[in-house]
Amino acid sequence: MLLSYFAARYLPSGTMSLIFGLSPLLSGILAQKLLNEPKFGPLRVLALLLAFTGLGVVCSTKLSLGNDSWIGLVLVLSAVCLFSLSGVLIKTVKLQIHPIASTVGALLFSTPMFAIAWIIFDGTVPLDTWSIKSMGAILYLGIFGSLIGFIAYFYILQHLNASTVALVTLITPVFAMALGAQLNGETISETLIIGASLVLGGLAIYQFGDKLAKNRRRSQQI
């Protein structure tokens, strides 16, 4: 989360959410190594190529803009890798930990770390820059983004595969880009749409390709 907050200084929210959409693929790759899940079939390899091609298109657009966009890309890619790794590592724990206990444990550890990061990188309280919008955003992140969101995340993580849980990011980019354009005035270029389509198409094939192929083979046999 800390890396994501830093990346938000350099990238639009829609682009960040789109890159986070790669987490199911990264989770699947890590799950093969850490959880001994089955290796990717041809369709999932195709999905991987499509998604990373889309990522390349998006990144090329941001890098061509110059400035410090590359810093945001590095930060958000690092955040995605850590997010995917954490989801897979939780699945290696065989104990049945209650979702609320997992959330409280994570917050007890992360809150002091956030405080340390604040002291190191900022250490100020600029009250003159506070607004109703910014305070509302922080309140929303604290209640829904941290508390309710993580309780729900840890709950479904106990009942589904790590790569399937991360599939929620297939829906998130669409909403994030739409909300970013409406609320923050973010620009959605044709190149971004092409890259997003490739990423989302790859994720769709990754999740549903094998199932559709099996259903088609069954119908042909009948």
User: Which residue range forms the structural domain that includes residue 66?
Assistant: 2-96+158-221
SS3 assignment, position 48:
helix
| 135 located within any domain | no
Higher pLDDT, 160 or 138: 138
| 106 located within any domain | no
**Measured CA distances, 131 to 5, 115, 126 (Å):** 18, 22, 11
Question: How crowded is residue 160: how many other Cβ atoms within 10 Å of its Cβ?
Answer: 13
Does the pLDDT of residue 162 top 60, yes or no? no
| 25 located within any domain | yes
* pTM of the predicted structure, to 2 decimals: 0.69
What pLDDT sits at residue 66?
56
The pLDDT tens digits of the residues spanning 90-119 come to 777 776 777 677 777 877 888 898 889 889
**Mean pLDDT to the nearest integer, 112-137:** 84
Cα 150 from Cα 213, distance rounded (Å): 34
Total structural domains within the chain: 1
**Mean pLDDT to the nearest integer, 123-142:** 82
- Cβ pair 58, 19 in contact under 8 A: yes
| 122 located within any domain | no
Does the pLDDT of residue 48 top 70, yes or no? yes
Rounded to 10 degrees, the C-alpha dihedral 211/212/213/214 comes to: 50
- Cβ pair 206, 31 in contact under 8 A: no
| 127 located within any domain | no
Rg over alpha carbons for the chain, rounded to the nearest Å, is: 19
What pLDDT sits at residue 78?
92
| 108 located within any domain | no
| 125 located within any domain | no
| 134 located within any domain | no
Higher pLDDT, 167 or 175: 175
The pLDDT tens digits of the residues spanning 52-93 come to 888 888 777 666 555 778 888 889 999 989 988 888 887 777
Cα 40 from Cα 24, distance rounded (Å): 13
Name the burial class of residue 179, with classes exposed (0-12), middle (13-18) and buried (19+) by CB atoms within 10 angstroms of its CB: middle
